Amino acid sequence: MLGGIMYASKAMMEFAPNVHLIGVFTVALTVVYRWKALYPIYTFVLVTGLANGFGIWWYPYLYTWAVLFGMTMLLPKKMPKAVAPVVYCIVCGLHGYLYGTIYAPYQALAFHMSFKGTVAWVIAGLPWDFVHGTSNLICGILITPLIHLLKKAEILTAPK
């Protein structure tokens, strides 16, 4: 269900290129569910491929969201309440700013790009990465409320 919600949120935001809530969901789900967050993350990846076609653009999705998952897993589980929301926003934003660089190894392999060509591809994408990172940073304010909502839902649905 959460993977489907992730996909629906991205589909609703298609009017704004590189602006979406996938980073928000990935960070929040990882904080709450840890390793089990990979289920909705890869459900999102699969549904995206099914809905939009498994084109050459899709294959990096197999690892780009795992990078954000990994960045989040490396964060301390217990952070001061005042610090955690800021750290979550920064991690989410950083992933957006680096998205083109994270995507680049696949692009280089798929299109037989030289190192210079890959660097040029990353530089050409910097304006889009700026939009992606800035929107992730701003949307990151939703991470902490989503974490609280997920924890509350888990308490309400736990067997008694």
- 113 exposure class (CB count in 10 Å sphere: 0-12, 13-18, 19+): middle
Specify the pTM.
0.95
What domain count does the chain have?
Answer: 1
Inter-residue contact 26 to 65 (CB < 8 Å): yes
What pLDDT sits at residue 160? 67
What pLDDT sits at residue 159? 74
What pLDDT sits at residue 157? 75
pLDDT digit of tens for each residue in the chain (160 aa)? Answer: 999 999 999 999 999 999 999 999 999 999 999 999 999 999 999 999 999 999 999 999 999 999 999 999 999 999 999 999 999 999 999 999 999 999 999 999 999 999 999 999 999 999 999 999 999 999 999 999 999 999 999 877 777 6
Region label for 46, one of left (φ > 0), alpha (ψ between -120 and 50) or beta (otherwise)? alpha
Radius of gyration of the chain (CA): 16
d(CA 134, CA 23): 12
Q: Which domain holds residue 77?
A: 2-157
d(CA 139, CA 68): 15
